[in-house]
Chains A and B, each alone.
Chain A
Amino acid sequence: DVKVTQSSRYLVKRTGEKVFLECVQDMDHENMFWYRQDPGLGLRLIYFSYDVKMKEKGDIPEGYSVSREKKERFSLILESASTNQTSMYLCASRSPVNTEAFFGQGTRLTVV
């Protein structure tokens, strides 16, 4: 069975902290994505990666960075967390050719 796993379901961090959100998939997918979801704004793409060590900015990359050192793992980094980064973060993966995407269970991050 397909599996995308995010490291934490709920996370509370302080303003200014460096935050790592981890995502691991077991399907040998090339493409991986990080989204944030906020009420009324839908899913917004932060970054995506179409292969190891490759990354592309999405619609809202400011304040975030990513790392893809291994095919199965895609990390989202908040260099200095701010309260406006409080959100639900969703990781997804898929193989590259017009196939469905699979999601992790989401991480609800609160920055205080």
Chain B
Amino acid sequence: RKEVEQDPGPFNVPEGATVAFNCTYSNSASQSFFWYRQDCRKEPKLLMSVYSSGNEDGRFTAQLNRASQYISLLIRDSKLSDSATYLCLRGSQGNLIFGKGTKLSVKP
């Protein structure tokens, strides 16, 4: 059951680059979406929720396209500290489905 598909990566980018990740989903039942960040050997932590109208938090922009059934995360002006694995999460009534995660490495 592949309900959430995510770019596998890895993405290796130089500092200052703009990078985008996508997740596609199936099943159009009522649901919510989130982006999580996971550092090596740590638990995932919420980066941002994804709203239908799109939302921005500093260098990070999240968007949801319900018609095409995908969500995206855009990181502008990448920093070394952005290196991590980024996971998309689809939440529906009672259940949570994660994408496999995309590894990002930002190089000097």
Asked whether any CB of chain A lies closer than 8 Å to the CB of B95, the reply is: yes
Interface size on B, residues (CB 8 A): 24
Asked whether any CB of chain B lies closer than 8 Å to the CB of A24, the reply is: no
A111 vs chain B, min Cβ distance (A): 19
B44 to chain A: which residues have CB within 8 Å? 43, 90, 103
CB under 8 Å from chain A, chain B span 67-108? 87, 89, 91, 93-101
Q: Would you call A45 and B43 a contact (CB within 8 A)?
A: no
**Chain A interface size range:** 20 to 34
Q: Would you call A106 and B91 a contact (CB within 8 A)?
A: no
A-side interface residues toward B, CB under 8 Å? Answer: 31, 33, 35, 40-43, 45, 48, 50, 56, 59, 90, 92, 94, 96, 98-106
